[in-house]
């Protein structure tokens, strides 16, 4: 496994500067969720976005009961104004959305448009219905696979990354830490996720807030970082059997929260999560269940 490299900081984002680096996407949900993605002015009016103490909070509506004719629970989908190829991004996350029916994600992709999945997609944080652990995954065009055995602390959950080969489950890695996602992540004070993307590999790292092995690059990010000091990644995606230049283009960072939809709302998935009722009925009728359906970010540092 390639050890890592040195990068220089290009963006130091927190609070309002974090928000300013992104744009709201009031679009139909690509994953067919029970959601209405709102624009920034609606998000501000409805209290779905806020900046306080230099932290950014993004949440879903948790006061409105929906009828079957309503379009979906109001929520957020934001996309970075800049695109990235070779880079490192460090997300300092204090809280992530939780609740039955929730499907939060942080991904690097170029998702909206006719060319998906040929530019590739990297899911950094993703899960449904509070089920741990976090799943990191790639979704690509055809002819991209991962070795079944590779140097990472997570567990492979599929090696074929091609989106159309396996119902778009992609090549996933389950992080070997139940505090990497959902209520257990939140009750532990959150933690740090980092992605390193190069021309020959993608690595994703996770550190719990209470870990005693968090690199200084992570808990106090400076003007430069050296990823070779970060140890074994949670998820490692090498180019052994996947030509990166033809499978991965320039990516935006997308942060969103949907409900139900193709994954969280699949009847078998929802039932197996131990969640009540049906996903859509639960999301429609239990607004107060989503009072904790929010991201709170301390910072985002990007290096290139």
Active site residues: 121, 126
The alpha carbon dihedral of 229, 232, 233, 236 has a sign of positive
Question: Is residue 55 packed enough to be buried (19+ CB in 10 Å), middle (13-18) or exposed (0-12)?
Answer: middle
Work out whether the CA dihedral 14, 31, 190, 292 comes out positive or negative.
positive
In 133-158, which positions are buried (b, 16+ CB within 10 angstroms) versus exposed (e)? bbbbbbbbbeebbbeeebebbbebeb
Give the sheet arrangement for strand 252-259, strand by strand.
22-24, 77-80, 252-259, 102-109, 121-126, 135-139, 171-174, 155-157
The enclosing H or E element of 238 equals strand 235-238
* Cβ proximity of 64 and 304 under 8 Å: no
Nearest to 26, CA basis, from 252, 287, 251, 256: 256
| Two structure tokens written together for 8 | 């220089």
Q: Is 99 helix (H, G, I), strand (E, B) or coil?
A: coil
Answer positive or negative: Cα dihedral of 215, 254, 134, 55.
Answer: positive
CA distance 257 to 99: 11
Q: By the 8 A CB rule, do 194 and 91 touch?
A: yes
Peptide bond into 149 cis (omega under 30): no
What stretch of H or E contains 185?
A: helix 182-187
């Amino acid at each position: 496994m390639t050890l890592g490299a040195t990068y220089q900081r290009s963006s130091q984002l927190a609070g309002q500067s974090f928000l300013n680096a992104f744009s709201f996407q009031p679009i139909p949900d690509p994953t067919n969720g029970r959601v209405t993605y709102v624009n920034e002015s609606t998000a501000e009016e409805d209290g779905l976005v806020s900046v306080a103490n230099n932290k950014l909070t993004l949440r879903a509506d948790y006061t409105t009961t929906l009828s079957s004719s309503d379009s979906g629970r109001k929520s957020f989908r934001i996309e970075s104004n800049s695109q990235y190829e070779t880079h490192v991004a460090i997300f300092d996350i204090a809280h992530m959305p939780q609740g039955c029916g929730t499907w939060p994600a942080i991904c690097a992709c170029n998702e909206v448009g006719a060319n998906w999945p040929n530019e590739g997609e990297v899911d950094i944080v993703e899960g449904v219905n509070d089920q741990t652990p976090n799943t990191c995954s790639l979704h690509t065009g055809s002819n991209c696979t991962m070795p079944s055995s590779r140097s990472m602390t997570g567990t492979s959950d599929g090696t074929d990354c091609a989106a159309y080969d396996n119902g778009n489950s992609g090549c996933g890695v389950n992080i070997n830490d139940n505090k990497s996602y959902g209520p257990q992540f939140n009750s532990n004070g959150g933690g740090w996720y980092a992605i390193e993307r190069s021309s020959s590999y993608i690595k994703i790292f996770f550190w719990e807030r209470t870990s005693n092995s968090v690199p200084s690059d992570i808990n106090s990010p400076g003007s430069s970082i050296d990823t070779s000091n970060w140890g074994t990644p949670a998820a490692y995606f090498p180019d052994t059997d996947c030509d990166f230049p033809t499978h991965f283009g320039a990516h935006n960072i997308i942060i969103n929260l949907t409900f139900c939809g193709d994954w969280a709302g699949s009847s078998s998935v929802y039932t197996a999560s131990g969640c009540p009722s049906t996903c859509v009925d639960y999301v429609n009728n239990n607004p107060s269940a989503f009072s904790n359906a929010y991201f709170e970010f301390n910072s985002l540092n990007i290096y290139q």
